[in-house]
Homo-oligomer: A and B are copies of this chain.
Amino acid sequence: MDKLKIAKMITMLAGCEYKNMYLNDFFETWHKTDDEIKSVFLVADILRGLREANISTRIFDSGLGISLFRDNSTRTRFSFASACNLLGLEVQDLDEGKSQIAHGETVRETANMISFMADVIGIRDDMYIGEGNRYMREVAKAVDEGYRDGVLEQRPTLVDLQCDLDHPTQIMADTLHVIHHFGGVENLRGKKVAMTWAYSPSYGKPLSVPQGVIGFMTRFGMDVVLAHPEGYEIMPEVEEIGRKNAEIAGCKFTKVNSMEEAFKDADIVYPKSWAPFKAMEKRSELYKQGDKDGINKLEKELLAQNANHKDWECTEEMMKLTKGGKALYLHCLPADITDVSCEAGEVAASVFSRYRVPLYKQASFKPYIIAAMILLAKKKDPADTLSALLNEAKPRIR
Contacts and interface: CB of A to CB of B under 8 A. Distances in A.
Interface of A: 48, 51-52, 56-64, 74-75, 77-79, 81-82, 85-88, 90-92, 94, 104-106, 108-110, 112-114, 116-117, 119, 146, 149-153, 333-334, 337, 340-341, 356-357, 360-361, 363-364, 367, 378-379, 385, 388, 394-398
Contacts of A112: 360, 363
Contacts of A356: 108
B397 A63 contact: yes
A398 B61 CA distance: 8
Number of copies: 3
Contact of A114 (B74, B113, B340, B395): B74
Query: Which A-B residue pairs are the 5 nearest by beta carbons?
Result: A82-B117, A56-B61, A151-B360, A149-B357, A78-B114
Given A90-B90, A396-B60, A150 B361 contact: yes
Contacts of A48: 153
B113 A78 contact: yes
A66 to B, nearest CB: 8
Given A82-B64, A85-B63, A397-B59, A113 B363 contact: yes
A364 B85 contact: no
B397 A60 contact: yes
Given A151-B360, A367-B117, A62 B78 contact: no
Question: Most chain-B Cβ atoms within 10 A of its Cβ — which of A116, A151, A395?
Answer: A116
Given A116-B363, A388-B398, 5 more contacts: A78-B92, A78-B116, A104-B340, A105-B341, A116-B367
A88 B63 CA distance: 9
Question: Most chain-B Cβ atoms within 10 A of its Cβ — which of A48, A153, A364?
Answer: A364
Contacts of A361: 150-151
A161 to B, nearest CB: 15
Given A62-B396, A151-B357, A116 B364 contact: yes
16 contacts: A59-B398, A74-B94, A77-B92, A78-B94, A78-B113, A82-B116, A85-B90, A85-B117, A91-B92, A104-B340, A113-B333, A116-B367, A149-B360, A151-B357, A151-B364, A388-B398
Contact of A86 (B77, B117, B337): B117
Nearest to A56: B61
A23 to B, nearest CB: 12
A105 B360 CA distance: 12
A346 B361 CA distance: 52
Contacts of A104: 340
Nearest to A115: B78
A64 to B, nearest CB: 6
